[in-house]
Structure 1
Amino acid sequence: MTTPQPQRLLCVDALRGFDMFWILGGELLFAALFTWTGAGIWHSLAGQMAHSDWHGLTAYDGIFPLFIFLSGVTLGLADKRASALGGGARRALYRSALRRLLLLLLLGVLYNHGWGTGLPGHWDEVRYASVLGRIGLAWFVAAMLVWHCRPKVWQGVALAILLGYWALLAGHLDNPAATPNAWVDGHWLPGIHYRQMPADPEGLLSTLPAVVNALLGVVAGGLLRSPRQPWSKAVLLAALGLGLLALGYLWSLVFPLNKTLWTSSFVLVTSGWSALLLALFYVLIDLLRLRWLGLAFAVIGANAIAIYLASSLVDWPYVAASLFGQWLAALGPSAQPLGAALALLAVQWLVLAWLYKRQIFIKV
């Protein structure tokens, strides 16, 4: 007996698109609005569009964890079990997962050395750690656990990772060069690090707790897939998010929030916000039926990795200026940054809308 495939939820693609929106140029809007209006609220929001230097959390710090969380949501919605498959189907599943992992690792290296730089001529000058690589590794490990273990087992593994990581890093948080992450990356991560930092933000050791972001996404996906009433699912998702936030912020009193190290408290807090956002999008799009909102962001989310990679390989600001340059020049000096940001977003969105309308989805 085969398990029926769940209906695809528009809210998941929409939230993935909302996440990517800020990477594609949305982060420029607040600073541009401040330049245009001078209102302090935009200046405060613009400050949230940059990563924390070390300890702390900004809204921009949550973009990457949300993407990993959503990769886990798709696992929870699919609810695959390798033990339920025949030998041939199981081998095909493994090949597909391994191919996805290797492709994301390769594309991550390509992204790191996109237009304007190019791949170095020497292997030891390549940056191998990447955002796409971490997404691939976190998803792959989470998939192997979910496909082969009962929920109590992989949930226990997630808890062990968080507690073990805390024990490993305790007392080594003040000096970036003295962290276990710096030692592991210095000895075992080939090539160069991001901005020559002692510990690469997408390094080896800090990828381990990122697996838990994906596993918590599996929990959320399981809630959405459950036979409960739709509004009950929304309430449970919100409760999951609030519970994770409470635990994470309490834990941060002794194990600070830190994106570079991807601390255990950072995992819980970012997963909490991710669950709350998923609950919000589920209510607005799939329950209240605001389909226009869902489609506006789903256009981006349906080809999220493709447009992320293109942001490294295509000079989108040049394209936007080529199309809208005369109109932008006609704006006043204070309005030009806002016009440039909107033009940048419009060009990318129109390309993605063209792909979406023709049902062209570039999947990895």
Structure 2
Amino acid sequence: MKSRLVSLDVLRGLTIMLMTVVNNPGDWGHVYAPLLHAEWHGCTPTDLVFPTFLFIVGVSVVLASPNKDSGPAALQKIVTRTLRIFCLGLFLSFWSKINIGGTEGLALLALRLAFTLLIVIALFSEYHPKRQFYVALAVFVSMMIAAFGGFSDFETVRIPGVLQRIAIVYLIISLLYLHSGWQAQALTGLLLLVGYWAIMTLIPVPEMGTPNLDKGTNIAAWLDNLLLPGHLWVTSKTWDPEGILSTLPAIATGIAGLLTGTLLRANLSGTEKWRYLFVAGVLGIAAGLAWHVVFPMNKALWTSSFVLYTAGMALAVLAILYFFIDVKGVNGWTKLFVIFGVNPMVVFFFSGIIPRVLSSIKVAHPLDPSQAAMGLQTFLYKFYLEPHFSDPKNASLAYALIYLSFWFLILYILFKRKLIFKV
């Protein structure tokens, strides 16, 4: 296993672990407040997960590309990886809609798992670079035809998503890094943040009038509904938390990672690096809080204040980890987090597939067979875990921690065998 920046792996591991816990409670109706997203404006610990991962993507782009190779092979590699990540995210949206003829029950589940296996082989496997590109492109085009080609099964499939946003941000910041210096990158990030603020707060919303930051009536929601009608977040149907316009400030989050990676590669002592990182983090937090007064922090809108605050938090935490792990060498406690941090995409993808599989396996109600059958996940939680807890929130959290432990076992086996899966 090649040399890695351990503090970055630990931060990535912490982020993936928190993501796994917050995305998999036993009962969404009973969750502790810090493990929920802010209702609208504001920022909870859960809201830090996604921007921290995008920040890490930016850092990793720099650390993985020490020579800034911008030739055709490098461009092909970037585009291929972008397509693969985007298609993995799309597949999670397509999964529940995959159906052929009259298949149902276990037959339908087997069909979906077969498609999953094909996607995994196509997008996770390493083989000839040009073939990887053509396969990823073919998968992407096929999904777009299915979504927009008039096929009734896929006419409401969601196009935006977490992995999709990661793919787009990765593409843009990789190209920016290869073709510009840190000053141009910083200026680009600043212009994105100020420009997004101006668009959201100064431009009237077509057909609605006054600029606003409310759910479903702001200009970002208008654009999502205009360009992707029917293909948005199922909960809202008219706007998307990973929508089109809000991807612009998300790119600035990735740029913050680029600048951090550049500092980590600078010819400075470890002590100087961690101090600069920490000061930058504190300034980012302060700037985010100050901007919050007039442009509130909001994950769904990915507001500019949200970018500064969350990037500042990520910087400050990375600085502290870097000081103790890479400067002082206090790393005996890091293995658990590194195990999660070196294989993030495996968890990202399959932690989304497994709940879908469990929900597809229907079980009759054990106390009243006349009631509708329930998914296996609900059955196991309701009848084998929840009864052991007096507080339903503790039961819900216990389920999430058991699921996290399940992933630890899988990732530990991969780690011991030195298997790192990259998309």
Q: Residue 248 and residue 271 in structure 1: after superposition, are their counterparts in 2 closer, same or farther (change >3 A)? A: same
Residues in 1 aligned to 2:345 and 2:24: alpha-carbon distance in whole angstroms: 20
* Deviation at residue 276 of structure 1 after TM alignment: 0.9
* Deviation at residue 256 of structure 1 after TM alignment: 0.9
Instruction: Using the aligned pairs only, state the percent identity.
Output: 30
Q: Does 237-246 or 105-114 show the bigger shift?
A: 105-114
8 Å contact kept, 1:72–1:221: yes
* Deviation at residue 176 of structure 1 after TM alignment: 2.5
**Aligned partner (choices 12, 18, 26) of residue 14 of structure 2:** 18
Q: Does 143-152 or 129-138 show the bigger shift?
A: 143-152
Structure 2 residue 164 is the aligned partner of structure 1 residue 168: no
String of CA shifts for 1:283-317, please: whole Å, max 9, x gaps. Answer: 23223334343221111111111111101111499
Q: Secondary structure at the match of 1:176?
A: coil
Coordinate RMSD, CA, aligned: 3.1
* Deviation at residue 101 of structure 1 after TM alignment: 0.8
> What aligned pairs does 1:284-323 form with structure 2 within 5 A after superposition?
284-315=324-355
Q: Does 315-324 or 190-199 show the bigger shift?
A: 315-324
**Higher Rg:** 2
* Corresponding residue for residue 38 of structure 1: none
Q: Secondary structure at the match of 1:157?
A: helix
* Deviation at residue 342 of structure 1 after TM alignment: 3.3
* Deviation at residue 123 of structure 1 after TM alignment: 3.5
Residues in 1 aligned to 2:312 and 2:171: alpha-carbon distance in whole angstroms: 22
Q: Does 323-332 or 333-342 show the bigger shift?
A: 323-332
Output the amino acid matched with 1:256.
P
Residues in 1 aligned to 2:48 and 2:328: alpha-carbon distance in whole angstroms: 26
Structure 2 residue 116 is the aligned partner of structure 1 residue 135: no
Residues in 2 aligned to 1:123 and 1:291: alpha-carbon distance in whole angstroms: 48
8 Å contact kept, 1:124–1:190: no
* Deviation at residue 11 of structure 1 after TM alignment: 1.2
After the TM superposition, list the runs of 4 or more consecutive aligned residues in structure 1 that deviate by more than 3 angstroms: 26-29, 78-82, 116-123, 315-342
* Corresponding residue for residue 286 of structure 2: 246
Q: Residue 315 and residue 174 in structure 1: after superposition, are their counterparts in 2 closer, same or farther (change >3 A)? A: closer
Q: Does 14-23 or 289-298 show the bigger shift?
A: 289-298
**Aligned partner (choices 266, 269, 277) of residue 229 of structure 1:** 269
> What aligned pairs does 1:24-173 form with structure 2 within 5 A after superposition?
24-25=20-21, 46-80=32-66, 82=68, 90-114=71-95, 118=98, 121-170=152-201, 172-173=211-212
Q: Secondary structure at the match of 1:293?
A: coil
8 Å contact kept, 2:24–2:403: no
8 Å contact kept, 1:284–1:290: yes
* Corresponding residue for residue 346 of structure 1: 405
8 Å contact kept, 2:11–2:318: yes
* Deviation at residue 228 of structure 1 after TM alignment: 1.3
* Deviation at residue 197 of structure 1 after TM alignment: 4.4
* Deviation at residue 207 of structure 1 after TM alignment: 0.5
* Corresponding residue for residue 221 of structure 2: 182
Q: Residue 284 and residue 197 in structure 1: after superposition, are their counterparts in 2 closer, same or farther (change >3 A)? A: farther
* Corresponding residue for residue 415 of structure 2: 356
String of CA shifts for 1:124-162, please: whole Å, max 9, x gaps. Answer: 211010100101111111111110012222221111111
* Corresponding residue for residue 266 of structure 1: 306
* Deviation at residue 325 of structure 1 after TM alignment: 12
**Aligned partner (choices 174, 194, 200) of residue 240 of structure 2:** 200
What is the count of residue pairs matched by the alignment? 342
Output the amino acid matched with 1:265.
S
* Deviation at residue 220 of structure 1 after TM alignment: 1.1
Q: Residue 299 and residue 26 in structure 1: after superposition, are their counterparts in 2 closer, same or farther (change >3 A)? A: farther
* Corresponding residue for residue 3 of structure 1: none
* Deviation at residue 23 of structure 1 after TM alignment: 1.8
Q: Residue 91 and residue 298 in structure 1: after superposition, are their counterparts in 2 closer, same or farther (change >3 A)? A: same
String of CA shifts for 1:50-75, please: whole Å, max 9, x gaps. Answer: 11121111111110000000000112
* Deviation at residue 15 of structure 1 after TM alignment: 0.8
Q: Residue 197 and residue 247 in structure 1: after superposition, are their counterparts in 2 closer, same or farther (change >3 A)? A: farther
Q: Does 169-178 or 143-152 show the bigger shift?
A: 169-178
Residues in 2 aligned to 1:136 and 1:80: alpha-carbon distance in whole angstroms: 21
8 Å contact kept, 1:212–1:267: yes
Gaps of 5+ in 2: 100-150, 203-210, 359-375
Output the amino acid matched with 2:275.
V
Q: Residue 177 and residue 70 in structure 1: after superposition, are their counterparts in 2 closer, same or farther (change >3 A)? A: same
